[in-house]
Structure 1
Amino acid sequence: MNRGFLTVTKERLKSDPAACVIFAAFAAFEIFSGIWFAAHAEARNAALSFAYLLILPAALLAEWLLRIRFPALFHLLLFVLAAGGVLGSCYDLYTVLPSFDELLHGISGILFCAVGFTLFRRILGEDGSKKTFFACLLAGVLFSLAIAVLWEMFEYAAYAFAGIDMQEDMIVDGFSSYLLSGSHNQTVTIDGITQTIIYYGDGQTYVIEGYLDIGMYDTLNDMLVCTIGCFLFALLLLPDRVLGGKLKDLLIGRPTEKKAE
């Protein structure tokens, strides 16, 4: 029987105190951040903080609709990922700790692999066979990689159509270009760049100590780190299956109702 969302959520929070604490901590952080930034007239950061808060009811709603339940550790990583978006862009942790963005993308690779595994197992059913396990594992890997690509496409679209820069730029000291050579038979390679001077139409200049890459390295690095996180998790699930499935139980969701025959 498909019971109401509020009833199921109430029972879910009562039966899983660890998850309840995680939900409360995440909500408190996002609400505090939203109020803090609003009090300091930082409208963008306040809006982002409250927007990320919506991930909490969205996660619970998804569990209810799909009739699955993810373990507390999964939700901990999910909300670390969500809170990381606020910490990175609003509290400027991306600047203070450049590797923080990579950490979040690595976590996302694990999470979406777990989601893909869970969804496919929900479709196939839990029969415990090796064939089903590997099918779910493959689905998890492919799902995670697909999300990584779609996210980078979203970042590109945000910049291309709305002028919102969601990619981490970096300073490089060289590049190769077919365009500068005028032919795709050879490239012009420029190395050892120490300074780039940008001239505005009004005569002003802007000096960069090197050459600015506007997102290519960030895009590929993000997808690579997500892929590494995904494959590491998938590889760890192989011996975990033989050893009793403790890791799987910590991150993979399970159905709350038996699949209809």
Structure 2
Amino acid sequence: MRLLAPLWVALVLAALWAAWEGWWPLAAMSTLAAILSMAPILLASRYNIALPLPFLVATVVFIIASLIFGEVFDIYYRIWWWDMALHASSAVALGMIGFLFIYMLFEGDRFAAPPVAIAFLSFTFALSIGALWEIFEYAMDQSFGTNMQKSANDTMIDLITDAIGAAVGALAGFAYLKGRSAGLLGRLIRDFITLNRHLYAKGRSRDDK
């Protein structure tokens, strides 16, 4: 929380300054970024979920990189791979989040459902969020005259990138269930489950090994 506080203060100050100067896109995106970056903490507190610090930092950085640098300062146009990198990283994260949520529904009992089934559901969860985001971009373009979609080709590239990233995140969860190393992604999954043992009660014995 203390590490993220300066970022939130900076976003609020940016929104106020932009509103004062009449730079409404920056004011709107800064406000939205502040709200979205605080949302995970508020939701986690509401449902008694502990979030690892790397997750919180990555969330804030991603939101700023996407909404402010990408949309307001047109980095999407200046750096060709910016959009692909953001879609890929968010899809990987969503694949892992999908896995953690679905695994949570089984209370950490890896015998309740096959690892392949949990990984597949994680993949579809992440890809569904990616598809909903593309619908959101279309709605924004049609309603407010923005250019979030860029082009039909860009939309397809985004969906393909989302599918690849979602598969990586889901496979990290699959590797965890199979007791294999998944590198950094595997450690992040293990850290989350360790911090939230009460949500994965049936898997405690496995995590303690």
TM-score with structure 2 length normalisation? Answer: 0.79
Question: Taking every aligned residue pair, what percent have the same amino acid on both sides?
Answer: 24
In structure 2, which of residues 127, 140, 150 is the aligned counterpart of residue 145 of structure 1? Answer: 127
Q: 2:19·2:27 contact (CA, 8 Å) conserved in 1?
A: yes
In structure 2, which of residues 163, 182, 186 is the aligned counterpart of residue 248 of structure 1? Answer: 186
Q: Which amino acid aligns with 1:257?
A: H
Structure in which a larger fraction of residues adopt strand = 1
Q: CA deviation at 1:221?
A: 0.8
In structure 2, which of residues 33, 39, 49 is the aligned counterpart of residue 52 of structure 1? Answer: 33
Q: How many residues get paired?
A: 196
Q: 1:67·1:256 contact (CA, 8 Å) conserved in 2?
A: no
Q: CA deviation at 1:90?
A: 1.6
> For the pair shown, which has the larger CA radius of gyration, 1 or 2?
1
Q: Deviations over 1:2-29 (max 9, x none)?
A: xxxxxxxxxxx5xxxxxx42x2253144
Deviates more, 1:71-80 or 1:220-229: 71-80
Corresponding residue of 1:93: 75
Structure-2 separation of matches of 1:222 and 1:127 = 34
Q: Secondary structure at the match of 2:63?
A: helix
What are the residue-to-residue correspondences of 1:1-261 with 2, within 5 Å?
13=1, 20-21=2-3, 23-84=4-65, 85-129=67-111, 131=113, 133-168=115-150, 215-239=151-175, 241-243=179-181, 247-251=185-189, 253-254=192-193, 255=196, 257-258=198-199
Structure in which a larger fraction of residues adopt helix = 2
Deviates more, 1:51-60 or 1:159-168: 159-168
Task: In structure 2, list runs of 5 or more residues that go unmatched.
Answer: 203-209
TM-score with structure 1 length normalisation? Answer: 0.64
Structure-2 separation of matches of 1:225 and 1:76 = 23
Q: Deviations over 1:90-111 (max 9, x none)?
A: 2222222121111111111012
How well do the aligned residues superpose, as a CA RMSD in angstroms?
2.8
